[in-house]
């Protein structure tokens, strides 16, 4: 398949910050918040979606970067190099998402795709990957907050069985907008598993076809 899900790493953060500014123009998380999440939060799981076609195209342009990595001069020569990603590795990231596990509840903290790739199923792919992580780590429910005006996100969550359970008034400080708090039913029930499997199969079929068309 053209798109792959990977764990987010520190080296990805410049690109995450870039997409974050576009996805949340009025209320971004600073890069330091993501750094803390990756370094210090044992209950957090962050992923990225990578477009392998973009990665291959840019890699071909870049050539073999390992040959050109600059050496550190004495006295820093003994230090491990900082994790750095090539331009191809960074630019091929087209979305990201994360969750925290609290006991048996998986709280979705963020989900965003680059505006240039919207409506191609990648937001859905990220949500599917988060729910799969939820299963792996023993979550029984998924929950999140969403701006009451965020129609694309609400539609995505609704598709995967999230329901509005309550409202948190003036939750977003940039414009005092209310948040809906959404919860799934228990994700371990046969009914949820079946709904999830059906949507996931349809999504993978769609993405496979798009990959074939894209070559």
Ligand X SMILES: CC(C)(COP(=O)(O)OP(=O)(O)OC[C@H]1O[C@@H](n2cnc3c(N)ncnc32)[C@H](O)[C@@H]1OP(=O)(O)O)[C@@H](O)C(=O)NCCC(=O)NCCS
CB 96 within 8 A of CB 112: yes
Instruction: Tell whether residue 118 is a contact of ligand X (CB under 6 A).
Output: yes
Check residue 113 for interaction with ligand X (CB under 6 A): yes
CA–CA dist 14, 24 (Å, integer): 15
Q: How far is the CB of 153 from ligand X (least distance, A)?
A: 4
145 catalytically annotated: yes
Interface pick for ligand X out of 28, 143, 150, 188 (rule CB under 6 A): 150
Q: What is the DSSP letter of 140?
A: S
Specify whether the CB–CB gap between 192 and 141 falls below 8 A. no
- Contact between 120 and ligand X (CB under 6 A)? yes
CB contact at 8 A, 34 and 21: no
Point out which span in 2-10, 34-42, 50-58, 122-130 binds ligand X (CB under 6 A): 122-130
SS3 (DSSP) at 80: coil
Does position 51 bind ligand X by CB under 6 A?
no
**Count residues contacting ligand X (CB under 6 A)?**
20
Choosing from 145, 171, 172, 210, the catalytic residue is 145
* Residue at token pair 């990595």: 69
Binding-site member from 88, 156, 181, 195 for ligand X (CB under 6 A): 156
**CA separation for the pair 139, 87 (Å, rounded):** 35
123 binds ligand X (CB under 6 A): yes
Q: For residue 29, report the phi and psi dihedrals to the nearest 5 degrees.
A: -80, 135
Tell me the closest approach of the beta carbon of residue 158 to ligand X, in angstroms: 7
Name the active-site residue from 46, 96, 157, 180: 157
Catalytic site residues? 145, 157
């Amino acid at each position: 398949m053209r798109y792959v899900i990977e764990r987010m790493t520190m080296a990805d953060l410049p690109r995450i910050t870039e997409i974050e500014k576009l996805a949340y123009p009025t209320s971004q998380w600073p890069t330091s918040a993501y750094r803390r999440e990756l370094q210090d939060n044992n209950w957090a799981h962050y992923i990225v979606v990578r477009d392998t076609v973009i990665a291959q195209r840019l890699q071909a342009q870049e050539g073999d970067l390992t040959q050109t990595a600059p050496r550190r001069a004495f006295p820093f020569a003994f230090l491990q190099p900082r994790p750095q990603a090539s331009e191809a590795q960074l630019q091929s990231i087209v979305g990201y998402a994360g969750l925290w596990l609290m006991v048996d509840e998986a709280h979705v903290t963020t989900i965003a795709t680059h505006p240039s790739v919207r409506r191609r199923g990648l937001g859905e792919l990220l949500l599917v990957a988060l729910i799969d992580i939820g299963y792996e780590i023993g979550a029984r429910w998924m929950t999140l907050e969403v701006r009451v005006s965020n129609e694309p996100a609400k539609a995505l969550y609704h598709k995967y069985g999230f329901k509005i359970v309550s409202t948190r008034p003036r939750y977003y400080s940039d414009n005092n907008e209310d948040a809906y708090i959404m919860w799934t039913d228990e994700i371990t029930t046969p009914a949820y598993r079946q709904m999830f499997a059906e949507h996931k199969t349809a999504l993978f079929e769609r993405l496979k076809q798009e990959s074939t068309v894209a070559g």
